Structure 1
Amino acid sequence: MQPPPLLRYAAKVLPVAVLAASFAAQAAAAAVPHLALLITATATNLLAEASLHRWRPGQVSLLARIRADVMVRRLTCDFLLIVGLLRLGGNHRETVYLPLVLGLLLFYALHFAGHAAAIRVRGTRTLPLLTRNIDASALGITPAPPALLMRRHGPRLLLFGLPATAGLLVTAVSDEPEFAAAGIAVSAVLAAVSLGELVRCLVRRRPASPEEVLDWFDGWLADYRPTVGMYFSGGASSAYQANMWLDALAGLDGRPLIVLRERFMMQRIGATDIPIVCIPKVAQLLRLEQSALKLLIHPANSGKTSQILRIPSIKHAFVNHGESDKLSSCNPYAKAYDEVWVAGPAARERYALADVGIEDRDVVEIGRPQLAPITPYAGPPTGAYTTVLYAPTWEGWDGNPGNTSVVLAGENIVRALLADPGVRLLYKPHPMTGSVDPRAGAANDRIQALIHEANQGLTGPRPGPQAAAELARRTAELNALTASSFRDDADDAERMLVQGTPEPGRAAAVAAATAAWEAAHWASLPAAEHQIITAPQPALYSCFNKADLLISDVSSVVTDYLAGEKPYAVANTSDLPEELFRDAFPTVRAATILTPDAAGVAALLDSVRHPANDGLAAARAGLKLHLLGPSDPPSHARFGEAALGLCEVAEGHRVRMSSRLLPAIPAQRGALEEAEAAGEEQLEPAPEG
Structure 2
Amino acid sequence: MQIAGILNRRAVQLSALFALLAAFAVQLVGALLPSVPMLITASAAGLALDLYLQHKQPGLLSLLSKVRFDVQTRQLLRDMFILLGLFQIDGIAPLQEQSPITVMLLVLYGTHFASQALAVLVRRTRQLPIVTRNIDASALGLTAGPPRILARRPSHRLLYVSVPATIGLLLTTATRDAVWGDIGLGLALALSLGGAVYLATWLLPAKRTASDDKVREWLKSWLDEYRPTVGMYFSGGASSAYQANMWLSTLAALDGKPVIILRERFMVQKIEATEVPIVCIPKVADLMMLEHSTLKVLLHPANSGKTSQVLRIPSIKHAFTNHGESDKLSSCNPYAKAYDEVWVAGPAARDRYQLADVGVEDKDVVEVGRPQLAPIKPYAGPPAKDGYTTVLYAPTWEGWDGNPGNTSVVLAGENIVRELLADPKVRLIYKPHPMTGSVDKRAGEADQRMRAMITEAAAQRSGARPGPETAAALEKATAELEHLTATGFRKGADEVERMLLQSTVEEGRAEAIQAAVDAWEAAFWASVPEWEHQVVVGPRPGVFSCYNEADVLIADVSSVISDYLSSEKPYAVANTSGKPEADFIAEFPTVRAATILTPDAKQVGDLLAYVRDPSLDVLVQARTELKEHLLGPSDPPSLVRFDAAALALRDKAEERARRMELRGESDVPSQRGEERADAAEELELEPAEPAEV
TM over 0.5: yes
Tell me the amino acid that sits aligned with residue 108 of structure 1: Y
For residues 204-232 of structure 1, give each alpha carbon's deviation from its aligned partner in whole angstroms, at most 9, with x where no partner exists: 42121111111111101000000000000
Q: Deviations over 1:383-433 (max 9, x none)?
A: 621111111111111222211111121112112111212111111111111
**What pairs up with 1:402-551 in 2 under 5 angstroms?**
402-551=405-554
Change in 2 beyond 3 A, CA 1:425/1:100: same
Match of 1:230 among 223, 229, 232: 232
The question of whether the paired residues in 1 share the 8 Å contact of 2:382 and 2:611 is answered with yes
Alpha-carbon spacing, 1:420–1:125, altered in 2? closer, same or farther (3 Å): same
Cα distance in 1, alignment partners of residues 571 and 90 from structure 2: 78
Q: Which residue of 2 aligns with 1:3?
A: 3
Do the aligned residues in 1 keep the contact of 2:481 with 2:516 (CA within 8 Å)? Answer: yes
User: After the TM superposition, which residues 4-153 of structure 1 pair with which residues of structure 2 at under 5 Å, given as runs?
Assistant: 4=4, 7=8, 9-11=10-12, 13-89=14-90, 95=96, 99-153=100-154
Measured in 2, the distance between the counterparts of 1:662 and 1:442 equals 64
User: Equivalent residues in 2 for 1:203-602 (5 A)?
Assistant: 203-205=204-206, 206-382=208-384, 384-602=387-605
Look up the SS of the partner of 2:231 in the other structure. strand
Give the distance between the partners of 1:355 and 1:531, measured in 2 at CA. Answer: 42
Q: Counterpart of 2:585 in 1: which secondary structure?
A: helix
> 1:195 is matched by which residue type in structure 2?
A
SS state of the match for residue 266, structure 2?
helix
Structure 1 residue 20: deviation in Å? 3.2
One-letter amino acid of the counterpart of residue 365, structure 1:
E
Residues 510-529 of structure 1: per-residue CA shift (max 9 Å, x gap): 11111111111111112221
More displaced, 480-489 or 187-196?
A: 480-489
Q: CA deviation at 1:11?
A: 5.0
Contact 2:91 2:176 in 1 (8 A): no
Distance 2:427 2:146 in 1: 51
Is 1:629 matched up with 2:632?
yes
Change (3 A) 1:65 1:659: farther
Offset at residue 311 of structure 1 (A): 0.4
TM-superposition CA deviations, 1:303-333 (whole Å, max 9, x none): 0001100000000000000111111111111
1:355 CA displacement:
1.2
More off after superposition, 300-309 vs 54-63: 54-63
Instruction: Give the secondary structure class of the aligned counterpart of 1:143.
Output: coil
Structure 2 counterpart SS, 1:426: strand
Q: 1:47 Cα shift?
A: 4.2
Post-superposition offset of 1:40:
3.9
What SS does the corresponding residue of 1:551 show, helix, strand or coil? strand
Q: What per-residue deviation string (whole Å, max 9, x for no partner) do you get for residues 258-294 of structure 1?
A: 0000110011101110000101001111001110000
- Residues in 2 aligned to 1:428 and 1:43: alpha-carbon distance in whole angstroms: 48
Gaps of 5+ in 2: 669-693
1: CA distance between counterparts of 2:627 and 2:91? 87
CA 1:12–1:641 in structure 2 vs 1: closer, same or farther (change >3 Å)? Answer: farther
Structure 2 counterpart of 1:159:
160
**CA 1:446/1:98 → structure 2, altered by over 3 Å: closer, same or farther?**
farther
User: Are the structure 2 counterparts of residues 511 and 103 from structure 1 closer, same or farther at C-alpha, using a change threshold of 3 Å?
Assistant: same
Compare 60-69 and 163-172 and name the one that shifted more: 60-69
**Deviations 1:188-247 (Å, cap 9, x if unpaired)?**
111111101011221242121111111111101000000000000000111000000001
TM-score relative to the length of structure 2: 0.92
CA offsets per residue over residues 44-89 of structure 1, 9 Å max, x none? Answer: 4334433543344445455444433322221112112211232244
How far did 1:645 drift? 0.7
Q: Decide whether the 8 Å contact of 2:94 with 2:100 is kept in 1.
A: no
* Residues 343-372 of structure 1: per-residue CA shift (max 9 Å, x gap): 111111111111111111111111111111
Per the alignment, do residues 34 and 594 of structure 1 end up closer, same or farther by CA in structure 2, a change over 3 Å counting? farther
Contact (CA 8 Å) 1:86, 1:94: kept in 2 or not?
Answer: no
**Distance change in 2, residues 1:523/1:97 (3 Å):** farther
CA change 1:202–1:377 in 2 (3 A) is: same
Deviation (angstroms), 1:551: 1.0
Q: Single out whichever of 109-118 and 291-300 deviates more from structure 2.
A: 109-118
What SS class does the counterpart of residue 22 from structure 1 fall into?
helix
Q: Partners in 2 of 1:16 and 1:61 — Cα distance?
A: 11
Deviates more, 1:129-138 or 1:24-33: 24-33
The change in CA–CA distance for 1:353 and 1:28 in structure 2 (over 3 A counts) is: farther
Q: Which shows bigger deviation, 537-546 or 51-60?
A: 51-60
Deviates more, 1:541-550 or 1:178-187: 178-187
User: Share of identical aligned residues, percent?
Assistant: 60
Q: How many residues align?
A: 665
- DSSP 3-state at the match of 2:2: coil
CA contact (8 A) 1:299 1:320 kept: yes
1:659 pairs with 2:665? no
Supply the distance in 2 between the matched residues of 1:2 and 1:567 (Cα, whole angstroms). 33
Q: How many angstroms does 1:449 deviate by?
A: 1.0
Whole-angstrom distance in 1 between the partners of 2:296 and 2:280: 18
Q: Quick one: structure 1 residues 56 and 333, their matched pair in 2 at CA, closer, same or farther if it must change by over 3 Å?
A: farther
* 1:564 to 1:24, Cα distance in 2 relative to 1, 3 A: same
Q: Does the aligned pair in 2 maintain the 1:31–1:87 contact within 8 Å?
A: yes
Provide Cα deviations, 1:518-560, integer angstroms capped at 9, x if missing partner: 1111111122211111121111101110111111111111111
Change (3 A) 1:89 1:392: farther
Q: Which amino acid in structure 2 is aligned with residue 197 of structure 1?
A: Y
Q: Is the 8 A contact 1:342 1:365 kept in 2?
A: yes
Work out the CA distance in 1 between the residues paired with 2:93 and 2:240.
64
Residues in 2 aligned to 1:454 and 1:625: alpha-carbon distance in whole angstroms: 38
What's the secondary structure of 1:446's corresponding residue?
helix
Task: Trace 1:633-644 onto structure 2 (pairs within 5 A).
Answer: 633-644=636-647
Compared CA separation, residues 121 and 527, structure 1 to 2 (3 A):
same
Distance in 1, Cα, partners of 2:282 & 2:99: 51
Q: Which amino acid aligns with 1:100?
A: I
Q: Look up the equivalent residue of 2:319 and give its one-letter code.
A: A
CA deviations 1:628-675 (Å, max 9, x no partner) are 111111111111111011000000011111232549x9xxxxxxxxxx
Q: Which amino acid aligns with 1:327?
A: L
Which residue is equivalent to 1:682? none
Q: Distance in 1 between matches of 2:327 and 2:567?
A: 19
Preserved CA contact (<8 Å) 2:93 2:99: no
Q: 1-side partners of 2:599 and 2:48: how far apart?
A: 49
Match of 1:95, SS?
coil
Matches of 1:93 and 1:208, distance apart in 2: 48
SS of the residue corresponding to residue 3 of structure 1 reads helix
Name the counterpart of 1:681. Answer: none
User: Letter of the aligned partner of 1:236 in structure 2?
Assistant: A
Q: Which amino acid in the other structure matches residue 226 of structure 2?
A: Y
Alpha-carbon distance, 1:606 to partner: 1.4
**Aligned-pair distance for 1:9?**
4.8
